[in-house]
Structure 1
Amino acid sequence: MDNLLLSRLQFATTTSIHFLFVTLTLGLVLFVAGMQTAYTITGNPVYRRMTKFWGKIYVVNYAVGIVTGLVMEFQFGLNWSGLSKVTGNVFGVPLALETLIAFVAEATFLGMWIFGWDRIRKGVHLALIWLVALTAYASAFWIMVANAFLQHPVGYEMRGDQAYLTDFGALLANSNLIDTLLHVISAAVLAGGLFVAGISAYHFIKRTQEVEVFRRSMRWGLIAAPIGAFSIIHWGFLQEVVIEQTQPAKLAQMYGEPERMVAAQQAMEQQFGPGDWAPPGWIGVPYQIMMNSAFVMALILLVCLILLFRNWVVRLRVPLYVLLIMVPLPFVAVISGWLVREVGRQPWTVYGLLTTDKAVSDLPAAVVLISFVGFTLVLGTLAVVDYVLIARFVRKGPDDELFGSTLDQVAKPASAHSF
């Protein structure tokens, strides 16, 4: 293995793991904020228990996701110094904004929300979780601005061997941005909705005593998830229009059309000179996985939504097992989609501007291998820890009141138990 291949494998691995956390975080925060809004308006204690139960899971996933994000951004300097040197003046702007939002604003609001239960007014506390949601999606926006530049560089000029930002508005109007951002948001809504519905189904399978909590949660999930599923299909196909215009070779490999690929190769040879400008042909496999799984989820979720009538989704029992089994499927689709988008850009790091072999850092392969193994072990461990903690909170259900409780509330049961 050489330096380039190892660096690509390392970044693909760390980004894939990080993206799993991001997808669930973006999806769950909408449910937590919505449930707390219902509690603030109605005063119904069921909504409070729902908010605290799903909020615990959200906080665990967010905390671990932040660590994986730090590792991912560290690699831009470690493995991809060529990218930073050539396009850092442009690419670094949205990344810096994302970092400020995610690690300063979002984390601050979330901390205030966690420790603000029963300490600040309901309206202020509710505003905090909506600020968390807003900054989470603002963070995703700036990440996609940066990624859209890699897919279709705009708003810059070359001065020597470095790119400089000349039109910030062009970055925001990038044709590769809006449809992709809405596609990602749809994936988050789908993943969050199916997660909430699937975990609720698990508790009904286990004959939960918290019937009202999980009945309402399942309704929320089964209303949101089909919206996300059909939206992800809509915005996914709209992206292909832009891909055909800006990256025709990627679209040819996605569809497995050799004639279109030959035409795209010839066009790129005329523009960039002789070379193999074709992305790997295997990206058609994850494309099919992503597309077919989206259609399957949309169909099944639509049926389950209909079965909410007269609570047939619970009475029939079978839909409960189907929902639980489907929980990982959105994450499989997300990783498949990421592979299509990123690997389909090869051999470019910045499409038409900087090839991957020129973007990689000049490091010995042994050094990259050590960092690859180290990062993979760390992130793999974090993913396992995240799963174990989430599974533990899921099994406990909404009975555990430690999260969001005051010190007096926690201390009283302990004192009584000690006597």
Structure 2
Amino acid sequence: MSTLSLARSLFALTAGTHFLFVALTLGLATLVAIMQTRAVFGDSAVHFRMVRFWGQLYVINYAVGIVTGLLMEFQFGLNWPGLTDHARDVFGAPLAMETLVAFFIESTFLGLWIFGWDRLNRYAHLTLIWVVTLTAYASAYFILVANGFLKNPVGYVRFGGELRVDSAGTLFTNPAALLPLGHITAGAFLTAGFFMAGVSAWHLRRSEEPEFYRRSLRIGLISVVVAIVPSAVFGGVQFGFIRETVGAQPATGLAVATMMFAWAWMFVVAVMALVKLPFTAWLMRGRIFLRVVMMTLPVPYVAMLAGWIYRESGRQPWLIYGVLRTEDAVRPIGHGAMIAVFAGVTTLFAVLVVVNIALLRRYARGGPDGSALGRPEPAARPEPVPSF
């Protein structure tokens, strides 16, 4: 592989992997916030337990996803200096807003939420998780603004050899950013919904905590039912923009076929869920259905990744469509150095993915009583009084 191909492959692997973390984080944060709202205003003990259990899984995925995101962004300066040289202002502005506004606010308030259990008023604690959720969507939006500019460059003017922001309103209302935001939001709900439903189905098949996991299963399946049609609608309206840059590359056709098949599978499961949801006993005793739900857990990930490949691969040979070619933006370093970077970064990403799966699997199987999130600290033992 050439240096350019290695650099493209490395960014594709890292960005695609990070995107999968984002999908679960975005959807699960919303569902946890909804559960905590129900717990606070309904004074529901079981919902508080659900917040602790699903919240811990969310925190694990978020923490590992942060590391993958930081490593991915390092590549802009490491491998793609041409992008920052030519479009520093236009491309960098939304990324800076994502980092300074969304990321730091989200991380700060998440830390307060994690360590604020039993220390803050329940309404203040609830506010924290909603701030975390809303800033997560803001973060996704700013990233999509930067990405949308690469596909549909608008709101800029040339100044010498650089691109400068000419219309911030045009840049931040780019259809290539707004339409994917709706599609990714729906996809995030599908990912989190099937994640909750799949884990709950696994426990229900073992007759563990039936009340707890019945409620969790319902929330997950309701999320799937609500999101399945919007995901297709927002995906469909993007084809007009994407067709302008999609060439005859084999990856795009395969990605579309994979995406369509995955959506069709999820749609069938969503219809089954819609029929069974009103009947609690039927939902609980449907062991074949529970197994199907478990099998569907990875399908949203496949659909999201296929959609991302379809959206991104068709832009080539342009990094900024019609403005900057990919070959003109890559760092001209030696082939051996690029191989070393590729091997090192992909190995690290593989380790992070394995660690995340192992931790999610461990704590998901452990059940709500194994959650450390929000667990009261053990009372300190009194110091022994010396006897004389």
Q: TM-score range by the shorter chain?
A: over 0.9
Is structure 2 residue 346 aligned with structure 1 residue 347?
no
What is the CA–CA distance in structure 2 between the aligned matches of 1:30 and 1:390, rounded to whole Å? 18
Identity of counterpart residues, as a percentage? Answer: 44
Aligned match of 2:385? none
Aligned match of 2:97? 97
Q: Answer yes or no: is the 8 Å Cα contact 1:183–1:236 preserved in 2.
A: yes
Cα offset for 1:404?
1.1
Q: Answer yes or no: is the 8 Å Cα contact 2:83–2:329 preserved in 1.
A: yes
Indicate the larger mover: 169-178 or 349-358.
Answer: 169-178
Aligned match of 2:207? 207
What is the CA–CA distance in structure 1 between the aligned matches of 2:138 and 2:175, rounded to whole Å? 18
- In the comparison of the two structures, how many residue pairs are matched? 380
- Equivalent of 2:265, from 264, 281, 296? 296
Aligned match of 1:225? 224
In the TM superposition, 1:4-403 aligns within 5 A as 4-208=4-208, 210-244=209-243, 247=244, 249-250=245-246, 278=247, 280-311=249-280, 312-403=282-373
What is the CA–CA distance in structure 2 between the aligned matches of 1:43 and 1:364, rounded to whole Å? 62
What is the CA–CA distance in structure 1 between the aligned matches of 2:201 and 2:290, rounded to whole Å? 5
TM-score between the two structures when normalised by the length of structure 2: 0.95
**SS where residue 407 of structure 1 aligns?**
coil
Deviations 1:338-387 (A, max 9, x none): 10011011111001101110111111111111111111111110110000
What is the CA–CA distance in structure 2 between the aligned matches of 1:173 and 1:110, rounded to whole Å? 28
What is the CA–CA distance in structure 1 between the aligned matches of 2:270 and 2:255, rounded to whole Å? 22
TM-score between the two structures when normalised by the length of structure 1: 0.88
Cα offset for 1:389?
0.5
Q: Answer yes or no: is the 8 Å Cα contact 1:64–1:386 preserved in 2.
A: yes
**Counterpart code for 1:286:** A
Cα offset for 1:405?
2.1
**SS where residue 367 of structure 2 aligns?**
helix
**Counterpart code for 1:196:** M
What RMSD, in angstroms, separates the aligned Cα atoms of the two structures? Answer: 1.3
**SS where residue 309 of structure 1 aligns?**
coil
Indicate the larger mover: 220-229 or 45-54.
Answer: 220-229
**Counterpart code for 2:364:** V
What is the CA–CA distance in structure 2 between the aligned matches of 1:228 and 1:4, rounded to whole Å? 38
Aligned match of 1:274? none
**SS where residue 237 of structure 2 aligns?**
helix
Aligned match of 2:386? none
Aligned match of 2:384? none
Cα offset for 1:29?
0.3
**Counterpart code for 1:175:** P
- CA distance change for structure 1 residues 150 and 138 in 2, over 3 Å: closer, same or farther? same
**SS where residue 71 of structure 1 aligns?**
helix
What is the CA–CA distance in structure 2 between the aligned matches of 1:401 and 1:313, rounded to whole Å? 26
Deviations 1:80-102 (A, max 9, x none): 11111111111000001111234
What is the CA–CA distance in structure 1 between the aligned matches of 2:102 and 2:62, rounded to whole Å? 10
What is the CA–CA distance in structure 1 between the aligned matches of 2:151 and 2:102, rounded to whole Å? 23
What is the CA–CA distance in structure 2 between the aligned matches of 1:286 and 1:369, rounded to whole Å? 27
Structure 1: which 5+ runs fail to align? Answer: 251-277, 413-419
